[in-house]
Structure 1
Amino acid sequence: MTQARQHHIQVVAHRGASEDAPEHTLAAYMRAIEDGADALECDVRLTSDGHLVCVHDRRVNRTSNGRGAVSALELADLATLDFGTWKGREDATEVPDRTDPALTAVLTLERLLELVADSGRRIELAIETKHPTRWAGRVEERLVALLDRFGLAAPSSAGESTVRIMSFSARSLHRIAAAAPTVPTVYLMQFASPWLRDGRLPAGARIAGPGIRLVRNQPGLVDRLHRAGHQVHVWTVNEPEDVELCARLGVDAIITNRPRQVLSQLGRG
């Protein structure tokens, strides 16, 4: 793929290597690191007792053997649940090792940050805040505090940040930009708003995050965003033809459930 080799495209593991292991589990993120992903993507929600956990849905019903809204449960409640068995019931290529319950237990953002810190190589994090939520404002407050504790709320000595915050909510990104102005922010989008015609993003957003369907339908959007000075990170890119399209358009990051396959297609496997 000659086009792909003309520029570096960051490969971001969506909810970890979530095609091969249950999403948002330690197993999925360990697999993504082994596969060579440049960055890890996760969603965060706030428990009723104030812990940030990596769970996509508002409720735990789909991805665990429990029921209920994350915001109404304490971390101790979530810790009793299995977040991995469901994957074996579907089309998983691998079923996680059940001998280590920690691999498929609820994953806190704090534990994921520890995993990245202990990885021995540079791995970036793309953290998505989920909305709407009953904890509006508190999610961003707790998130910035946790990043600050890990030394990630400010750029490194080289002036580069290894973490970025993503959201479909412009208000959430505005809160992040106000609390941690050096942390890059990604505005996620499914549809083309009128102001996108000239590549503008909402105040507080520094990177564009269009979905692959939007990129397919409006490939010229990538160039408009680049001309406006924005990086373009596309989600969720799993099919080879979509990887090829993103490479041809010169996107800056591909967010995928299949980091190993995408890296291979880009000539980095």
Structure 2
Amino acid sequence: MTAEPLANDRPLVIAHRGASHEEAEHTLRAYRKAFDHGADGVECDVRLTADHHLVCVHDSRIERTSNGSGRVSALELARLEEFDWASWKRLDRGVEDETPEADPERGHLLTLRRLLDTLVEKRQEVVTLIETKHPTRHGDDVEKTLVQVLRAFDLDRGDRPGLPHVRVMSFSARALTRVHRLSPGVPLVHLVADRPAKLVDGTLPADVGTVGLDIRLVRRKPKVVGRYREHGHGVFVWTVDDPADVDLCGELGVDAVITNRPGMAVDRLGVTR
């Protein structure tokens, strides 16, 4: 099963790690803020802890986004949950920290299960992009665990009414192949960075229906969008934070823009919900 272009008359707005321009990335507060802005969906990165829990963390190490240190893959979930995952953002922006009582979940580590719990509770068909990160010491256990989690939420059989519409993304074609082998019903997105050596001819690996293009590549070679369209593929673009880039994506007719600034993108595209 592949993911055909999404049926919409303008690009969907997908919040990259939540509304991460305003709130600490990969926190429930960031995701809730994204929906407050009218985002159509959300994106998250997942990594596997030492005791095989999927957590929403982008970097292999935790120093940038927490007050702890070490590699996600070498730390157990209980240890990771001891750290503060939000104060760094507020301090970075010169904002005084809030008391924990103001938002008890603000600094908590977000697991994939907790995020999916929140999205399923919405009972809406929100686009949910989940990126697996490689390389990692856990290898294919990342995709195996991800499929298990999706099955637990009944999200492994393609898009269905009233449930999040999940797509698994990766820069690794091998990782996507593993997901397809384990759960053929899950639509896939192959991420393509702006690298001169990368052949961008509009084709994708077998069983992948959507490409995720770096906005820098789209700026340099806007015709690349048409190449993927000619092959019947959907086109997502990341990370679209400049208003001019949002306009460009709208003109090119991409399926979705993935942005740290969902409020800006929603306003720019004139989205009504």
TM-score (norm 1): 0.92
- Equivalent in the alignment of 1:85: 87
Structure 1 residues 202 and 21: CA distance shift in structure 2, 3 A: same
Whole-Å separation in 1 of the counterparts to 2:98 and 2:168: 29
Q: CA RMSD in A?
A: 2.1
Question: What is the match of residue 175 of structure 1?
Answer: 178
Q: How far apart are 1:92 and its partner, in Å?
A: 7.2
Q: 1:12 to 1:166 in 2, by over 3 A?
A: same
* Deviation sequence 1:68-113 (CA, Å, 0-9, x none): 0000000000110000011012237896664234222110000000
Inter-partner Cα distance in structure 1 for 2:98 and 2:110: 15
Q: Which residue in the other structure is 1:105 paired with?
A: 108
Q: Match for residue 19 of structure 2?
A: 17
- Tell me the distance in 2 between the aligned counterparts of 1:135 and 1:141: 10
How far, CA to CA, are the matches of 1:50 and 1:74 in structure 2? 8
Which of 135, 143, 147 aligns to 2:146? It is 143
Aligned counterparts, 1:111-150, within 5 A: 111-150=114-153
1:82 and 1:106 in contact (8 A); partners too = yes
Query: Which letter does structure 2 place at the counterpart of 1:57?
Result: D
In 2, Cα distance between equivalents of 1:180 and 1:35: 33
Deviation at 1:36, TM superposition (A): 1.6
Once structures 1 and 2 are overlaid, which stretch shifts more, 243-252 or 27-36?
27-36
CA distances 1:40-71 after superposition (whole Å, capped 9, x unpaired): 10000000001000000000000000000000
CA offsets 1:8-28 (integer angstroms, 9 cap, x no match): 211100000001100001111
What are the Cα deviations for residues 119-154 of structure 1, in whole angstroms up to 9, with x where unaligned?
243312100000000011100000001001100000
> Within 5 Å, which residues of 2 pair with 1:150-189?
150-157=153-160, 162-189=165-192
The answer to whether the 8 Å contact 1:19/1:258 transfers is: yes
SS in 2 for 1:164: strand
The match for 2:4 is none
2:203 is the alignment partner of 1:200 = yes
Distance 2:196 2:223 in 1: 12
Identity of aligned residues (%): 48
Deviation at 1:180, TM superposition (A): 1.1
Query: Which ranges in structure 2 are unaligned for 5 or more consecutive residues?
Result: 1-7
Tell whether 2:54 aligns with 1:52. Answer: yes
CA contact (8 A) 2:192 2:213 kept: yes
Deviation at 1:193, TM superposition (A): 5.5
Partner of 1:39: 41
1:71 — aligned with what? 73
Mapped to 1, the partners of 2:171 and 2:160 lie a distance apart of 30
Distance 2:89 2:182 in 1: 37
Match of 1:40, SS?
A: strand
SS in 1 for 2:200: helix
Question: Is the Cα–Cα contact under 8 Å of residues 158 and 166 in structure 2 kept in the other structure?
Answer: no
**1:232 alignment partner AA:** V
Change (3 A) 1:218 1:95: farther
- Match of 2:128, SS state, is strand
How many pairs does the alignment contain? Answer: 263
- Seen in structure 2, the aligned counterparts of structure 1 residues 53 and 92 have a Cα distance that, compared at 3 Å, is farther
